[in-house]
Amino acid sequence: MTERSSSNEYWRANIRIILISLAVWFFCSFGMGIILRPALMGISVGGADLGFWMAQNGSIYVFLVLIFAYAWRMNKLDQEHGVDE
């Protein structure tokens, strides 16, 4: 039973990390890149407005950071819960 509850706790922690990551994923691409672009027109990144840059380059960098951060955080979580390989 202890093992089962520990694995449930592991899974809940995983879901929480996934939800936070997906919120960032959505905000940076759909949010700043598309929906909020008109509101962000005043902010510029070099010669582009923030929304344009997020849509064409910036969101891709955020995606990269997100995946590696998730991989790193999950490896730690695996160890904490003793379910690593």
Partner 1 sequence: MDQFTLNLLVVGFTFAIYIGIAIWARAGSTAEFYAAGQGVHPVLNGMATGADWMSAASFISMAGIIAMAGAGGYQQSAFLMGWTGGYVLLALLLAPYLRKFGRFTVPEFIGDRFYSGGARLVGVICLIVISVTYVIGQMRGVGVTFARFLEVSTDMGLYIGATIVFIYAVFGGMKGITYTQVAQYIVLIIAYTIPAVFISIALTGSVLPQLGLIGNHAPSGGDLAFLAKLDEVVMELGFTQYTAHTTNTLNMVLFTMALMIGTAGLPHVIIRFFTVPKVADARSSAGWALVFIALLYTVAPAVGAMARLNLTTTFWPNAVTGNALDGEALSLEAIENDPALAWITTWSNTGLLAFEDKNGDGMIQYYNDADPRMQAMAEERGWAGNEITKIDNDMMVLANPEIAALPGWVIALVAAGGLAAALSTAAGLLLAISSAVSHDLIKRMINPDISEKGELLAARISMAGAILVSVYLGLNPPGFAAQVVALAFGLAAATIFPALMMGIFSKRINKEGAIVGMLVGLIFTSVYIFLYLGWFFIPGTNMFPNTPEYHLFGISPLSIGTIGAVLNFASAWVVSMVTKAPPREVTELVESIRVPRGAGAAQAH
Which stretches of the chain bind partner 1, using CB under 8 A?
Answer: 7, 10-11, 14, 18, 21-22, 25, 29-30, 33-35, 37-38, 45-49, 51-53, 55-57, 59-61, 63-64, 66-68, 70-71, 74-75, 78, 82-85
Q: Which is nearer to partner 1, 1 or 71 (CB)?
A: 71
Q: Evaluate whether 7 touches 20 at the Cβ level (below 8 Å).
A: no
CB of 42 to partner 1, least distance (A): 14
Tokens of 2: 């202890």
